[in-house]
Amino acid sequence: MSTNLKYLSLSILVFQTTSLVLTMRYSRTLKEEGPRYLSSTAVVLAELLKIFTCILLVYKDSKCNLRALNRVLHDEILNKPMETLKLAIPSGIYTLQNNLLYVALSNLDAATYQVTYQLKILTTALFSVSMLSKKLGVYQWLSLVILMTGVAFVQWPSDSQATAAKEHSAGSQFVGLMAVLIACFSSGFAGVYFEKILKETKQSVWIRNIQLGFFGSIFGLMGVYIYDGEQLSKNGFFQGYNKLTWIVVVLQVRYPLSCTWRPGDCCCYKICRQHFKGICNFSLYYTVNIDLLFLASGFSILVIAATFLYGYDPKPAGNPIKA
């Protein structure tokens, strides 16, 4: 594999994650005439798009044969209802998490959101230890301590936050912070739970994502009618939608594996995971892009350092060559 392809893959990951946070934040704060789009409907559309994307990937794996595709979907989903039902739990949690991210970015600036959201490294690590019996090394535990310290200092009030305080009241900032924290815990638990399911079964990750998308769209529609039913009846499902909204929907499509990432990330992530082990751990590329572009404060450097340290893999010293 060429070096150019490896770095191109890493660049795509950084671009996707950066674009998602910035476009989502901009779309939720943009002042326009008429009603703003409902974030709950965007979550539903992202789930439907995930189903469509994964069906195309299964179709490709079936050598572009419709009969083979139909057989795979029938055998792996319809004929295995209990296996399908296992995905209801992480799917509901992912749906909640996706809605919470919209709430968070509506009440926090992009930098504070992204730095604070790195606490999902901590929650994922803790759930991995408790649910998968994984063992963390000294460097990883140290990185988690540094991570918590960095996030805590980023949240500490400072004079530089005066401008942000004008845009968001203390109440809205608290709501955004709580949304991020809950999203971190839901991301950690759902990601580890999903990884546990993948390890215990032989179904492909694409089939699992179709099952996730199915339940996610159901849970999402329930949320639309429960929380936004009145606005939906007045202005319709696609109220406030524009080109920017559709870009957010496409970027929001997520492909979870150990943590949450998008279908477009799949091939790129595998390439980066293999060839950039020191810097492309399960959540590193989520940190380096926004944090380096929009440092919430000097203490966000601690968050970046913690993420690098978590993915640090010290190589054992080789045996000396005997003469």
The residue count for the chain: 323
pTM of the model: 0.74
Q: Is 134 helix (H, G, I), strand (E, B) or coil?
A: coil
User: CA-CA-CA-CA torsion for 30, 31, 37, 38, nearest 10 degrees?
Assistant: 80
Give tens-digit pLDDT for 76-128.
Answer: 888 888 888 888 988 999 899 889 989 888 888 777 787 778 788 788 888 88
Q: At what angle do helices 243-252 and 3-29 cross, to 10 degrees?
A: 130
Query: Scanning the structure block, which residue is given the tokens 């660049």?
Result: 11
Instruction: Annotate 78-111 with b (16+ C-beta within 10 A) or e (fewer).
Output: eebeebbebbbebbbbbbbbbbbbbbbbbbbbbb
Please report the DSSP string for 56-90 in residue order.
HHHHHHTTT-HHHHHHHHIIIIIT-HHHHHTTHHH
Helices first, then strands: H and E counts in the chain: 16, 2
Residue 127 neighbours by CB under 8 Å, 6+ apart: 188, 189, 191, 192, 193
Per-residue pLDDT of the chain (323 residues; tens, 9 = 90+): 456 666 666 666 667 777 787 888 888 888 877 888 999 999 999 999 989 988 998 998 888 888 999 999 998 888 888 888 888 988 999 899 889 989 888 888 777 787 778 788 788 888 888 888 888 777 778 777 777 777 666 655 555 555 555 555 555 888 888 998 899 898 889 888 888 887 787 778 788 889 988 999 999 999 999 988 889 888 889 998 999 999 999 888 754 433 333 434 444 444 444 444 444 444 444 444 444 444 445 555 666 677 666 666 666 555 544 44
